[in-house]
Amino acid sequence: MEDLGGIGKLDRERLSEVLRGTKGTVNNAQVAQILKISSADATKMLSRWSKKGWLSRVKRGIYVPVPLESRSADVPLEDPWLIAEKLYAPCYIGGWSAAEHWDLTEQIFRTIVVLTALTPRDRNPLIKGTQYLLCSVNEKKMFGLKPVWRGQVKVSVSDPTRTILDLLVEPRLGGGIRSVQDMLLNYLRSEMKNLDLLVEYADRLGNGAVFKRLGFLLERNAPGESTIIAKCTQRLTKGNAKLAPKQKAERLVTRWQLWVPEHWLEEQA
């Protein structure tokens, strides 16, 4: 834990100038540009401010300001979404984090789901007490996003329909297929419901398992959505998928070419 230390008048003026010229995070290049100093001097300055406790190191070369009221530089992230944008861009907030944002779930998830065009080695980084879950996605498939302002920084989050699509692609991003079903039901009951758009998104993404899972879940929970169910049927691809990729599945529902856990069919009976 770093205790806050005093800095001289010149350092305070320089730090204030840097913070006025940055948005949420500070890096070497920004300091060098704002203060018109060399990269080496900027590195030394950032290190000094960090050691004094006025900046907190998030990742190598990236810092966040420490709130004036804090007695220590060992502080949690004020806005994990903003940090995700700075560290993993191009990216967007998705999965259960987006579902929470759009009120598609009442569950509380402490881990932030980030879909990024990068291929990070650590898929579950812990940054200043905040846990992240990183999932790679092709940048060309980053559509269906909405901008959200976090302070002065614009962060992308999947729109409600894209959120449901991502959950159907990767049920683990929703906490498992049971949670995904609940989020889908909330989506169907909401004003955000747009199943035609969901099919359009799924067509663009080109993942056949989506239509198998969506068709099965709609037929099970919303059989009145016959038009969309029929569209799912028309888009079935070769081969079988699993309703829950990580779960044991004993029964094959041939209509949907979907392996389903036995207890799901028992509940429906």
Please give the share of the chain, as a percent, with pLDDT higher than 70: 93
Please determine, for residue 66, whether its predicted confidence score (pLDDT) is greater than 60. yes
Residues 31 and 18 sit within 8 Å (Cβ to Cβ): yes
Residue 246's closest CA among 174, 186, 182?
A: 174
pLDDT-wise least confident of 5-14, 125-134, 145-154, 244-253: 5-14
Q: Where do runs of H (alpha helix) occur along 170-243? A: 177-189, 195-205, 208-221, 226-234
For 258, phi and psi rounded to 5 degrees? Answer: -130, 125
- Reported confidence tier of residue 68, pLDDT bands at 50, 70, 90: low
67's CB contacts (< 8 A; 6+ apart) are 75, 78
For 222, phi and psi rounded to 5 degrees? Answer: -140, 65
Residues 247 and 177 sit within 8 Å (Cβ to Cβ): yes
Task: With residue 95 as reference, give the H or E element that holds it.
Answer: helix 95-101
R_g of the chain, CA atoms, integer Å? 23
State the pLDDT at residue 4.
47
Side-chain half-sphere exposure of 28, counting CA atoms within 13 A: 11
State the pLDDT at residue 2.
46
Domain ranges of the chain: 9-65, 76-159
Please determine, for residue 269, whether its predicted confidence score (pLDDT) is greater than 50. no
Burial (CB < 10 A; 0-12, 13-18, 19+), residue 46, is: buried
In this structure, whether the domain defined by 9-65 belongs to CATH 1.10.10.10 is answered with yes
Write out pLDDT tens, residues 79-118: 899 889 989 999 999 999 999 999 999 999 999 999 999 9
Write out pLDDT tens, residues 109-137: 999 999 999 999 999 999 888 999 999 99
Residues 167 and 107 sit within 8 Å (Cβ to Cβ): no
Structure tokens at 195: 């199943």
Write out pLDDT tens, residues 172-193: 999 999 999 999 999 999 999 9
